[in-house]
Structure 1
């Protein structure tokens, strides 16, 4: 296929781009190159004849129409989004503008192109979303594709809005869409404001390792390359109008996750004295912090045969090693706005 990937210079998007090119697909990477994007994330495929880059913003409808007409993709994987909960607390407007209005502009461009192309059955618009649209779980149960939406942060609400738009364009206009909602991603190339890279980089810098509240919040962790594999599978074989949950089947309390990362660092780059766990500090919790997320991915397994390949223990070891071996990559990002700062406290 020729796939238009939005946000392909970001964390998850770049994993999709790298895997798609490796599997022989043609990829058009559309990215606005905002603060969390890095073209170095796709440097290993940049010279491939199957790869092209478009520096464009999904909020620019006219530009989107030209890109569709020029490249004529067979499918879209829509990943471009503002995605950091703490930043959404400080500046919700950017999340509504990009995640809701940007998705609207992209849907309209895709609909016009699909209609002008004769409404081919094989076209797919794959919208990539998050489990945070479902809200917060108690101690039992998991999110299914039928769980009612109950977003609790500006980020989650903006993604919920975009999910609803995508489904509406399918029901109203017949656009062949698929939607996926994933659990927390981690792995190489993750921008250093998210939990796992913050823990790794603060640890080796000798800084305090911040843990919100008492670290009892629980997340289901999904290795980013497993996620990319699932996204391409849903794109190619998912039924139009269907949604699929994608999870790593690896629930952990935040404090236990942090302690595991510290143990990996103790083994890979031991301190002269003590453990990296000695640097852990508990800080004021995030406003409206969801207690627990957990994904039931049975539909994806039963209908398409997918399951995660990388265990959390193996994935964390790979991730720690990658950050230790790729210091030039994250050093280049340290001066970007918000990196190394506590965000999301204005509420």
Structure 2
């Protein structure tokens, strides 16, 4: 046991001074620090849309504020004439344009929808029905509760006839949402706020997301751990060929083989664990469990390789081929296995695939 501990200590020192090992450790730490300092960004299509709102009611002002601040694939901005709307759309400064006529909100509340929003698009406009849906949704949210109040509240309770405060209006909105089909069906079915509006069921929320620049740090860590285990295997085969372990028994030689691989795995595995914790790759307990399993698999793989290639000369001839195949099939930078089941089966023979 003393021999094994001594060799483990010696191998740790030998491993830590190797240039390749130092570069792997430094690369992992540098990538992790860089990744942590990359800001999250909103990845969006960010399509501009122009609005000319001629209505000057309070509801109209609320609509302007809400739609200009909302998060969607469209960015809405306002102009002050119909000519500006047309010019912006024709010049492709805006993808789509809307004109809201004067008195529009009051007309809607009275269910007089002959005065409609005008929409301008061109053949190059992207997702115009999505813009229509966003605008309609916001108009509906502003107008619908007051339609409910104006045309249906009198038959329910005289309570609703008085001016509503903020909390009562919120309660009214909730009541309306629960009964939207029954209450507002006439407005939805018989008319529309848009000229030539089309029903749109596009799920545009998937087009906007908060994300972060991807760096394959976990896969790189898996590759480095695998390379480190091969370095330990090579060190053992080198010492064996120098007849350093000639007087050791077969059992001791096998344990020494494991101690070399373990000494190479420990520093890189610990560094990888800390780096992956730093970038919050996954839950710490899950990460620890996966790291232990992966290190055990890599260690076993290296032991098997060292038993099959029981010569340092043969090992060094096979090593470049093994590393290239690992890069290609284990999905370190690009997972081609997800496109082909045969390649995916080949990938199972390379440990980084499992991490």
TM-score by length of 2: 0.25
Larger radius of gyration: 2
TM-score by length of 1: 0.26
Higher strand share: 1
Higher helix share: 2
